[in-house]
Amino acid sequence: MTTDEAAPHDLESAVAVVGMSGRFPGAPDLDTYWANLRDGVCSLSAFTEKELLADGADPAELRHPAYVAAQGLLADADRFEADLFGFSRAEAAALDPQHRVLLETAWSALEDAGYAPLDAPSRTGVYVGGSPTEHALAAGTDPALAASIGALQVRILTDREFLAPWISYRLGLDGPSMTVQTACSTSLTAVHLAVQSLLLGECDAALAGGVAIGSVRRQGYVHYQGGIFSPDGRCRPFDEKAAGTVPGSGVGVLVLRRLEDALADGDPVRAVIRGTAVTNDGSGKVGFTAPGVDQQTAAITEAWAAAGLEPSAAQYVEAHGTGTELGDRIELEAAGTAFGPRADTGIALGSVKSNIGHADAAAGAASLIKTILMLEHRTLAPTVDVTSPLAALQDSPLRLVTKAREWPDRPGLPRLAGVTSVGIGGTNVHVVVQEAAERRSRPSAAPGPVVLPLSARTAPQLRLAADRLARRLREADDALRLTDVAHTLRTGRVGMPLRGYVVAADAREASDKLAALAEGHRGTATDPLGEAWLRGEEVSWPALGGDVRRVSLPTYPFAGESYGALTLRRAPAQEPHEPEQSGLEAQVAELVIEALDLTGAADLTQTYFEAGGDSLTAVHLAGRLRDELGIDVPIQLFLEPITLEDMTHRIVDMKQNGHADGALDALLAEFEAES
């Protein structure tokens, strides 16, 4: 493909990546991720003993001679903009951090594709997976949490099997919704399944990817001789000194559509997936956790066959590359067999695990996103911390990239790459990805000012959104048509309470006015529809005319508070807490505070709903009041516009005066039966 008009056989089996979003160690967004990759930055964190102890590490473990204080840490993984997704404070605190981060990343990925997250294309599917987490394990073994919100609710808010359904539910996506689990190859398997679903017509758009946040806390690990973890906190794929990987966290989501549909609808095509394949080693390996050569080779050859290409057409391979002696050797043998000899300089090879560690269920998404960014920037990023590439590479068609360099073009063929992911248990995945074709230049839109609307939930977020868009327009200069920007902002964003707009005729003017808006200065130019937008009205924006397209723009700047994470570790010693109340009233207040995840008695000045209460929590709180304190409370009490403090007094009065709610037993019985 060299133009927008792809050949028919390309359209029939090709899938476009129209949007993507991710967060990885050292990178809260994909712009930073790319800068780190390009510059050869190792984003693995090393921790001090003080930092580890502050996060609850066992002092005895830290004294172990083989303890390695390193991790690929995902910053701010405990934060979540719960209100945006309709979760109460109590629900958000119980919700696994993986669910929180994945929901926000799915939102951003849709925005990157130019679609409003609550107005995505019909029949949008979701294919994602996650890793085991400390939070989920702690939640599942916490009887107090189950008593507070119910065992079923605990499972729904923490179990990996609900990762996909929560996205479908909160974003209103009605295509297939599947949580995928194939260990380390989970997210690339999710991409394969999404591609197949699109080609079979089961959905018209799909979100695919994965998340891995084992813990939001700083922590290291104990290195064992012969184990998979590195003895020095560094991962060196395909290096003679490679001795293991480093655990890491991350999240990545891609938005996929059939290429034909993406081109017809003016989507921002970032790359094209030409073919995918999945195999399993079966019993053809030395052990369950060991990789196998034959089926890794088969996954590669089958994916390139599905793409209608020879494997030798590849210019780059993003390997699974864990930095383990057995894994790297087998992967190199499998890839060498699949790609065959090359007469030229060989096929470039790399592994992102050297930069961010092993992101487990998100590893494949991290690799695929890295490869797409390299295709977009036409630059091969280095594998870092490698000083002595494996001798076996000398007889291989593969050449390890250790310094950033230009990705050269070639006559008659686009840039092509393969991405491999391998899971413990033997599930091998390979994806063939191609650079996006250059879009045909279009006549400039008719001159004249256009309205660029912005919105956010808070004033600081609105200012940040304006600043980010100003920077993007300044960097892009004339590369972005202002009508495309306006079209994307009007149709590809959710309208929120705090609003602003600018009126501009070109990108430079828009950038200047947005920068002023970010500093709190409203421009003098006004527009009737812009003013209606400011008032919070539902605006029917007029057609911009001409051939407008969606474009990739900065996404919503999340700014949620910290909801922490449950832990199995010992909590740091705290000063004894003196209760502010005594007797029955103190017991009732304690149950209310615990059920609503309040910080203390000072929060009892709110109403039940102001404190984040909902009907489900009310049922369980009423049940605990009955079971633990012998008080039958009518559910209607929680609906009254009174403070929690007044509600506590009335509950105590009910106990003392013998009030009861005869319908409560039936309501609780019905709920428990459904559970």
Q: Binning pLDDT at 50, 70 and 90, where does residue 269 land?
A: very high
Q: Tell me: pLDDT of 674 over 60.
A: no
> What pLDDT is recorded for position 546?
77
Helix, strand or coil, per DSSP, at residue 109: helix
- Buried b / exposed e across 580-599, counting CB within 10 Å, b at 16+? eeeeeeebbbebbbbbbbbe
pLDDT for position 319: 97
Cα distances from 150 to residues 131, 555, 624, 634, in angstroms, run: 23, 36, 10, 19
Q: Is residue 347's pLDDT more than 50? A: yes
Residue 443: the pLDDT is 59
**Which tens digit of pLDDT belongs to each residue from 171-228?**
999 999 999 999 999 999 999 999 999 999 999 999 999 999 999 999 999 998 878 9
DSSP 421-476: EE-TTSEEEEEEEEEPPPPPP-PPPPSS-EEEEEEESSHHHHHHHHHHHHHHHHHH
Give residue 523's region: left, alpha or beta (phi > 0; psi -120 to 50): beta
Mean pLDDT value across the chain: 90
Residues 415 and 313: their CA atoms lie apart, in Å, by 9
| pLDDT digits 0-9 by tens, 308-330 | 999 999 999 999 999 998 999 99
614-651 pLDDT tens trace: 766 777 788 788 778 888 888 778 878 889 988 888 88
137: nearest Cα among 167, 160, 110: 160
Residue entry with tokens 């990705």: 407
Q: Which whole number is the average pLDDT over 149-161?
A: 95
- Give the residue, 440 or 415, on which the prediction is more confident: 415
- Cα–Cα distance for residue pair 69/46, rounded to 1 Å: 6
d(CA 593, CA 597) in angstroms, rounded, equals: 6
Q: What pLDDT was estimated at residue 614? A: 74
